[in-house]
Amino acid sequence: MANVLTAGLGYPRIGEQREWKKGLEQFWAGKQDEEAFRKEMRELRIRRLLRMKESGVALLPSGDFTLYDSMLDHIAAFDLVPERFRKFGASDSLAVYFAMARGKEGAPACEMTKWFDTNYHYLVPELASKPQPRLAFNPWRDAFLEAKEEAGLTTRPVLIGPYTFVRLAKGVAKGEFANVVRSYIAVYNAVLAELAQAGAEWAQLDEPSLVTDVPEEHLALLHEIYDGLKTANPGLKLHLQTYFGSVEHAESVFALPVDGIGLDFVRGGEENLKAVKTVGWSTGKKLGAGVVDGRGIWRVDPDRALTVLEALAALVPAGDLIVQPSCSLLHVPVTSKVETSGDPVVRESLAFADEKLQEIVSLAEAFEARLSGNGAAALPARLEENRTALEALRNHPGRQRAAQAATADASSARAAFAQRHVLQRERFKLPLLPTTTIGSLPQTAEVRKARLDWRRGKLSENDYRSLINGLIETWIRRQEELGIDVLVHGEFERTDMVEHFAHLLDGYYFTSNGWVQSYGSRCVKPPVIFGDVVDRGPMTVAETVYAQSLTDRPVKGMLTGPITMLAWSFYRDDLSRREIAEQIARALDAEVLRLEAAGIGMIQVDEPALREIAPLKKSEWPAYLDWAVEAFRTSVSGVRNETQIHTHMCYCDYHEIIDAVEAMDADVISLETSRSHGSLITALHDQPYGNGIGLGVYDIHSPVVPEVSTMLDVIRDSLAVVPADRLWVNPDCGLKTRGEPETIAALQRMTEAAALARQSLQ
């Protein structure tokens, strides 16, 4: 019997102690020169390769490591640098690379958006008016040779496939998609030819766009692409990898001229298994069976995974099966071995990247035993541990509180927006184009250290609260001096907009080192929803009421919405997402009503994740948006007409969900528009929004402070699509990660721009 192959598809790049993040930020701060920085990144790449090797997985990836983002690597390598960055150097220079990522004076950063329905952000290629792509340099060959020479490993280089690369780009003229994709065949062939010359046996081409809505007219194009790649590189085995769902047009995809295809049997598993049964599988073509969840943090259920593998074994020769994760392990933390505290039942149920690679090897071992007729043999120790841990988790008391977490009816007795608008205008008496911020204000190293010391018992409750209240008072005064109309308390007590609330609700578990990359060097430590989510008392009332006591101007209460609380957490897999969101919404509603009862007249419930976790197939959108909107409305149900409900969204294709946003019926929504370069304004022209709206006038993710004239242009463009009595002026996102001087300068310019715009309306 042939041995069952195992493979990894990608691995976290941040390092066990976030060495990658720290190295990047030191380089950006000028504390490390380029030579030292490159040396440090090389050492980190080698260490991660050796960690993967230790797992025993046979096919290991290379080229998935990046200094910022893999899509950005392709942009640079293919010489697709937008013209505004070329003055900073050559396409392979770090100056140009990081300018595209972060922006530079006179050159706004490339647009950033979510990678499919994950919490990872990628840089969007700009293809409008670009020359024919060419291979300026080959980072995938360099990574392959580095692994071979420094770690003794023959790896499988990973690229984003040409179809997905162009599908995710912007600037492709209508009707020109096929021609644009064709123009990339030559540059991909150049990459692959150099990989083959360097000794690569396999190359992995990631095509997650194949699990989205693929137009039928693209099928012939897909065959043309892969015919071109395979014909030009006959000695190199091509592995086409899909993930995040079931493939569209399985018969056509399975027939592509490649040597292996990877399918996700975690998300979309039923449909993918049915497709293999219905379509059949070509002998000699490898099937990458993604049976270990590359996005979740729970141990694999060995019985479920082995059942899928056995079903596949009846359809595909064992020698053609590869046991692998469902997707890259980029989306999970590095290792759970450092998790030594917290609820032991939950802790023992966790599996991060290193553990998932071990599970893959153990599953392959158990699967081979069953194929050899030894099905009664005991599972490998690792998988027996999984059984025990998952059974204990199923019986956890935290999962027995469904009655406490029962949801309320999302219907509301509130009047229509037009009537509420009049009542709220009378209550708050704001000027035209009122200014506000999204919620968070700069957090210094001092406040971060104090918060950590307080949690560790090194700082007393009184001293900590005194520090937080001092910061609130300082920034209330600063906001007043800047002329901002609607204030915020600054969220200085919050580490993260999700984690903070998770700590104040039942049903959550917290890792000590469960970091994952969000964008660039920004890493987050998502909380873990392991049980039923239940309210347990006030969460934000004290800080908000204190801030309001310091000023006559309105202070917004600030909460994170149920969909974002769900999306930016690792969540349990025994309930539907809808059920979990309903539990969170009911808990948040209790806090909204407490804020209102305490006299807070404006309450913002942020939902930046509403669009990002929408299903990848449009046919599934109506059902999702129905329950997502219902969850938001539940979270603010019962408030009075005079209470103004705000929400915030960023970095999404707003025009795609405008009907759902209107159904949410918030009084004011604030949206990012700076990095998307006005595309939201165009969308609002085509389909106006009927309630209050604020279009972000500057990009908070860039250290560049725009001129007053630049912000004024955004306001004027916005006034072309939003009436003045419903338009708000604000940044495009929270300001927690920005420095104090640049924040003050930017907000000063924002209020000046708003004042100039008001003058023009008189």
Residues known to be catalytic: 701
The answer to whether 439 is a known ligand-binding residue is: yes
Query: For every residue of 394-447, which 3-state class applies, written as one string?
Result: HCCHHHCCCCCCCCCCCCCCCCCHHHHHHHHHHHHCCCCCCECCCCECCCCHHH
SS3 assignment, position 729: strand
The answer to whether 21 is a known ligand-binding residue is: yes
The answer to whether 86 is a known ligand-binding residue is: no
CA distance readout (Å), 457 to 342, 448, 451, 463, 510: 16, 14, 10, 11, 18
The count of other CB atoms within 10 Å of the CB of residue 165 is 25
The answer to whether 672 is a known ligand-binding residue is: yes
The answer to whether 523 is a known ligand-binding residue is: yes
Closest-CA residue to 439 (of 732, 121, 112, 102): 732
Instruction: Indicate the helix (H) or strand (E) that contains 606.
Output: strand 602-606
Beta strand 505-509 pairing with 528-535: antiparallel
The answer to whether 458 is a known ligand-binding residue is: no
The answer to whether 281 is a known ligand-binding residue is: no
CA distance readout (Å), 734 to 183, 276, 436, 554, 666: 40, 46, 11, 18, 19
CA distance 89 to 701: 22
Closest-CA residue to 233 (of 185, 161, 295): 185
Per-residue exposure over 614-648, b if at least 16 CB sit within 10 Å of its own CB, e if not: bebeeeebeebbebbbbbbbbbbbbbebebbbbbb
HSE-up (13 A, CA, CB side) for residue 638: 16
Supply the angle between the helices 70-77 and 139-151 in degrees, to the nearest 10: 110
CA distance 519 to 118: 11
CA distance 386 to 291: 15
CA distance 326 to 290: 4
The answer to whether 675 is a known ligand-binding residue is: no
The answer to whether 733 is a known ligand-binding residue is: yes
The answer to whether 652 is a known ligand-binding residue is: no
SS3 assignment, position 7: strand
The answer to whether 650 is a known ligand-binding residue is: yes
- E strands, 224-305, where? 237-241, 260-264, 286-292
The answer to whether 617 is a known ligand-binding residue is: no
The answer to whether 621 is a known ligand-binding residue is: no
Binding site residue list for Zn(2+): 648, 650, 672, 733
Binding site residue list for 5-methyltetrahydropteroyltri-L-glutamate: 18-21, 114, 119, 522-523, 568, 612
Binding site residue list for L-homocysteine: 438-440, 491, 606
Binding site residue list for L-methionine: 438-440, 491, 606
Binding site residue list: 18-21, 114, 119, 438-440, 491, 522-523, 568, 606, 612, 648, 650, 672, 733
